[in-house]
Amino acid sequence: MKLKPLLLLAILLPIFPALAQSDEVTISLYPYGKILQKGGTLKVLLVVGYPGNESRCVNLSAYYLPAGTSAWFEPQSGVTNFTSILTIIASEDAIPGNYSIVIRAATNETVSEKEFSFTITSRTDFELEPQEPRVEVGVGGFTVTNVSVRSILGYKNWVKLYTTDVPSGLSIKFETEGGIPDYDSRVSIAAKESLSPGLYVIPIRGVGAEGVVHTVYLALTVIPESTLVMNVHPEDAGATEPALGPHSCRSGAKVKIEAFPKEGWRFDHWVVNGYVLGGENPTTIRVSGLTNVTAYFEEIQQAFELTLEPPSVSVRRGGSVSVKVVVSPGKNFTGFVSLSVEGLPPGVGCTLSKYGGYGGFESTINLTTSSTTPLGVHRINVTGSSENFTESVSLELMVYSAPPQFVVSASPSVITIRNGGSGEIRVSVVSLYGYNGTVSLYNPVLPSGLHASFDKKAGIPTFHSTLTLNASSAPPGDYYLSIIGSDGSMSRGCRVLVRITSSSATTQGTPP
């Protein structure tokens, strides 16, 4: 069966139903299966639209989650039309059964809801995970992504990858077509010039030896004409050929690029769509879809360096946030450095704890948003200037209209412990959107002979805790531990793979 572009044929896959008369937000769901293992994850691709393709700011939320589960959206808000990934996690305490949750999409004027049903189970299984659920390719061009096949609860059967319902003019090939989890497969996607531009939802399926099939979806946008955008970093450090800015060209075309550093600078490397290409100059690239090329330069003699900690922050509209600026002097530099902040979005106030200093010093930028500050991502320039040297760094400020929440993460995510030994895991509980409640950490469900304890069991995010694991007589094998944090009404969690070896075995170390 051939798939038509979803933007052109909303009857087959009603992502953006142009014929709809409702003025409410539309939600289309493409779940990566409907089975959720205890201690596992389940993801759903959402396509959020609005009648007539009008732009509306939409906030997503999920309700009626069963006990022992948590969920979040990435992103949680956006401007129509956009896609989002809903991730649902089930802890080891989740009760098996059939459940339904409500996914809500709200604007300032309307609220739309969609029901999603799934089953929680405790059987062994496998899961598929795309590296990038949203992919772009130009007509006549190609792109690559990756799909991971992961074991759940010790699944050891062969899993074959395949795809169905691929439209004419689109080619999808797997570098690794099958294997025993865990493994990754590189996916090559090529769009012929006969393929119509638009949005396609492509199913990627995995079938186990016993016949169990799981599906994930790629939201593939086919662009009619490719655009090459040339950039330099830092700004004013050099020039490029083609010149800085956007250039239209045929998809799949080969283009020679060259960097020309200004006096006092040297070319270092290229970055193409987020991937480091290398330091060859000039070089040739193939343009497909939107291709962002950045020439990175290094200053030969740098008086000082500006660093932001962190370089990107999120704040709820009407709230405040702080960022530390670190001025690190170069060799023998003792001059005066003045600091300034430019490019503030409307409704944002700014103060600095120090507006300048000699040599190396630190200052704090305090940003306060108002009810009129536009939602979205804003880039603010922080500049340090001395008598003969100026450096600017970019601060990414994301303004949300979203409820406060927190996330839980662990490092390392895989640890090997020998019986009779121990290991430590750093657990981080991070505040999002101004969350300031008290979060308690709960010991994971452990196999016999494995013991765990937190050095800090509760706190107000952001905070960190060390989870110490002691293995006395645990049966050797791989165990997934779910680490859960909860404030009583909201729960977040993450998983850690603990690999227990016998006391006579040699510990191979903990992967980074």
N residues, the chain: 512
Q: Return the SS3 of 26.
A: strand
CA 433 vs CA 58, 250, 444: distances in Å: 16, 42, 27
In this predicted structure, what is the pLDDT of residue 476?
92
Question: Which residues sit opposite 252 in a β-bridge?
Answer: none
In this predicted structure, what is the pLDDT of residue 20?
37
Secondary structure (DSSP) of 329-382: E-TT---EEEEEEE-PPTT-EEEES-SEEESSEEEEEEEE--TTSPSEEEEEEE
Query: What residue type is assigned to position 174 of the chain?
Result: F
In this predicted structure, what is the pLDDT of residue 363?
94
Q: With CA atoms as reference, report the closest residue to 293 among 254, 261, 257.
A: 257
Peptide bond into 346 cis (omega under 30): no
Cβ distance 373 to 347 under 8 Å? Answer: yes
List strands edge to edge, sheet with 82-90: 26-31, 41-49, 82-90, 69-74
Q: With CA atoms as reference, report the closest residue to 42 among 4, 114, 99.
A: 99
In this predicted structure, what is the pLDDT of residue 2?
41
User: pLDDT by residue for the chain (512 residues), tens digit each?
Assistant: 444 443 333 333 333 333 334 568 899 998 887 888 888 888 899 999 888 777 888 999 999 999 999 999 999 998 888 889 999 999 988 888 899 999 999 998 889 999 999 999 887 888 888 888 888 887 777 788 999 998 887 888 999 999 988 888 899 999 999 999 999 999 999 888 788 888 888 999 999 988 888 898 888 888 777 789 999 999 989 999 999 999 888 766 789 999 999 977 889 999 998 888 889 999 999 887 788 999 999 877 778 889 999 999 988 888 899 999 999 988 778 889 999 999 999 999 999 999 999 988 999 999 999 988 998 899 999 999 988 788 899 999 998 886 788 999 999 999 999 998 999 999 999 998 778 899 999 988 899 999 999 999 999 999 999 999 999 988 999 999 999 999 999 999 999 999 999 876 544 444 43
Buried/exposed 388-399: b ≥16 CB within 10 Å, e otherwise: ebbbbbebebbb
In this predicted structure, what is the pLDDT of residue 249?
80
Q: What is the C-alpha to C-alpha distance for residues 28 and 204, in angstroms, rounded to an integer? A: 18
Q: What letter does residue 455 receive in the DSSP assignment?
A: S
* Six token digits for residue 159: 């899993």
Q: With CA atoms as reference, report the closest residue to 363 among 335, 326, 391.
A: 326
Question: Which residues sit opposite 367 in a β-bridge?
Answer: 321, 350
CA atoms within 13 A on the CB side of 338: 5
* Six token digits for residue 425: 């895991």
In this predicted structure, what is the pLDDT of residue 224?
74
Q: Return the SS3 of 9.
A: coil
Q: With CA atoms as reference, report the closest residue to 121 among 39, 212, 216, 211.
A: 39
Buried/exposed 236-263: b ≥16 CB within 10 Å, e otherwise: ebbebebeeeeeebebbbebebebebee
Peptide bond into 14 cis (omega under 30): no
Q: What is the C-alpha to C-alpha distance for residues 117 and 41, in angstroms, rounded to an integer? A: 14
In this predicted structure, what is the pLDDT of residue 322?
94
**CA triple 302-308-311, angle to 5 deg:** 125
